[in-house]
Structure 1
Amino acid sequence: MSRKYFGTDGVRGKVGEMPITPDFVMKLGWAAGKVLAKQGSKKVLIGKDTRISGYMLEAALEAGLSAAGLKPVLLGPMPTPAVAYLTRTFRAEAGVVISASHNPYYDNGIKFFSAQGTKLPDEIENAIEKTMDEDIRCVESAQLGKASRIDDAPGRYIEFCKSTFPGELNLDGLKIVVDCAHGATYHIAPSVFRELGADVITMGCAPDGLNINDHVGSTAPQALVERVLQEKADLGIAFDGDGDRLIMVDHTGYEVDGDELLYIIACDLQQQGSLTGGVVGTLMTNMGLEVALAKRDIPLVRAKVGDRYVMELLQEKGWRLGGENSGHIICLDQTTTGDGIVAALQVLKAASRAGKTLFELRSDIRKFPQILINVRFVGDHDPLLSASVQQAVRDAEKILGQTGRVLLRKSGTEPLLRVMVEGENEQQVRQLAEKIAAEVTAAK
Structure 2
Amino acid sequence: MVASVRVVPTAPIDGQKPGTSGLRKRVKVFQQPHYTENFVQSIFTAMPTPGPLNATIVVGGDGRYFMRDAIHTIISIGAANGISNFIIGKDGILSTPAASALIRKRQADGGIILTASHNPGGPQNDFGIKYNIRNGGPAPESVTDAIYRASCEISEYKVTQLDTKVDLSIVGSQSFDGFSVEIVDPVQDYVELLREIFDFELIRDFRLKNPNFKLLFDALNGVTGPYGKRIFVEELGFSENSSLEQCTPLEDFGGCHPDPNLTYAHTLVERVNREHVDLGAASDGDGDRNMILSHDWFVTPSDSVAVIAHYATECIPYFKSTGIRGLARSMPTSCAIDRVAKAKGITSLFEVPTGWKFFGNLMDAGRLSICGEESFGTGSDHIREKDGIWAIVAWLNIIAYVSQKSSNFSVRSIMLDFYQQYGRNYFTRYDYEEVDADGAEKMITHLRSMAYLEKDGGIIGAVFNGYEVARVDDFEYVDPIDNSISKNQGLRIIFTDSSRIVFRLSGTGSQGATVRIYIERYDDKHIDLDAQVALKPLVDNALNISKLLEFTGRKEPTVIT
Normalising by the smaller structure, the TM-score range is 0.7 to 0.9
Q: Which has the larger radius of gyration?
A: 2
Q: Distance in 2 between matches of 1:14 and 1:191?
A: 32
| Map 1:211-250 → 2, pairs under 5 A | 211=253, 214=256, 217-219=259-261, 220-250=264-294
Deviates more, 1:8-17 or 1:430-439: 430-439
Compute the displacement of 1:354 (Å).
2.6
Asked if 1:404 is matched to 2:444, the reply is no
2:174 matches 1:135: no
Contact 1:372–1:419 under 8 Å retained in 2: yes
* Amino acid corresponding to residue 180 of structure 1 in structure 2: A
Counterpart position of 2:224: 185
Per-residue deviation, 1:154: 2.5
> 2:367 corresponds to which residue?
318
Deviates more, 1:157-166 or 1:386-395: 386-395
**Structure 2: distance between partners of 1:317 and 1:82:** 21
Cα separation, partners in 2 of 1:110 and 1:337, compared to 1, 3 Å: same
**Displacement of 1:231 after TM fit?**
3.2
| 2:61 alignment counterpart | 48
In the superposition, relative to structure 1, how do residues 244 and 20 fare at CA in structure 2: closer, same or farther (>3 Å)? farther
| Greater mean alpha carbon deviation, residues 406-415 or residues 374-383 | 374-383
Match of 1:259 in 2: 302
Q: Conserved in 2, the CA contact under 8 Å of 1:74 and 1:148?
A: yes
**1:138 partner amino acid:** K
- Aligned AA (1:156): D
Partner of residue 24, structure 1: 35
Structure 1 equivalent of residue 145 of structure 2:
126
Quickly say closer, same or farther: Cα 1:204–1:253, change in 2 above 3 A. Answer: farther
Partner Cα distance (1:213, 1:112) in 2: 27
1:47 Cα offset (Å): 0.4
Instruction: Tell me, yes or no, if structure 1 residue 370 matches structure 2 residue 428.
Output: yes
Equivalent AA in structure 2 for residue 226 of structure 1: E
What is the aligned partner in structure 2 of residue 208 from structure 1? 250
**Whole-Å separation in 2 of the counterparts to 1:235 and 1:78:** 25
Whether the 8 Å contact between 1:181 and 1:205 is mirrored in structure 2 is: yes
Q: Deviations over 1:268-301 (max 9, x none)?
A: 1243665424420112112444446544445643
CA distance in 2, matches of 1:38, 1:389: 45
Question: Number of aligned pairs?
Answer: 439
Structure 1 partner of 2:539: 430
Deviation at 1:28, TM superposition (A): 2.3
Shift of 1:14: 1.8
Letter in 1 for 2:274: Q
Residue number in structure 1 paired with 2:104: 88
Q: Secondary structure at the match of 2:519?
A: strand
Instruction: Pick the structure with more strand per residue.
Output: 2
Q: Which residue of 1 aligns with 2:88?
A: 74
Q: Percent identity?
A: 22
Matches of 1:117 and 1:278, distance apart in 2: 20
- What's 2:173 paired with? none
CA contact (8 A) 1:9 1:308 kept: no
In structure 2, list runs of 5 or more residues that go unmatched: 1-14, 163-175, 404-408, 451-456, 470-494, 523-533, 554-561
Counterparts of 2:437 and 2:145 in 1: how far apart (Å)?
A: 28
Q: Is residue 418 of structure 1 aligned with residue 476 of structure 2?
A: no
Deviations 1:165-213 (A, max 9, x none): 2254233244311100111111112211121233342112234311268
Tell me if 1:169 matches 2:169: no
Deviates more, 1:69-78 or 1:372-381: 372-381
1:440–1:128 CA distance, 2 compared to 1 (3 A): same
Deviates more, 1:72-81 or 1:354-363: 354-363
Runs of 5+ consecutive residues of structure 1 not aligned to the other structure: none
What letter matches 1:324 in structure 2? Answer: E
Q: Matches of residues 151-166 of structure 1 in structure 2 within 5 Å?
A: 151-166=184-199
What is the TM-score when the length of structure 1 is the normalising length?
A: 0.87
Distance in 1 (alpha carbons) for counterparts of 2:312 and 2:100:
24
* AA in 2 matched with 1:206: T
Q: Secondary structure in 1 aligned to 2:198?
A: coil
Would the alpha carbon gap of residues 292 and 161 (structure 1) be closer, same or farther in structure 2, given more than 3 Å must change?
closer
TM-score relative to the length of structure 2? 0.70
Q: 1:218, CA displacement in angstroms? A: 1.1
Secondary structure of 1:347's match?
helix
| 1:383 and 2:443 matched | yes
Give the letter for the 2:65 counterpart.
Answer: I
State which drifts further: 183-192 or 297-306: 297-306
Root-mean-square deviation (CA, aligned residues, Å) is: 3.2
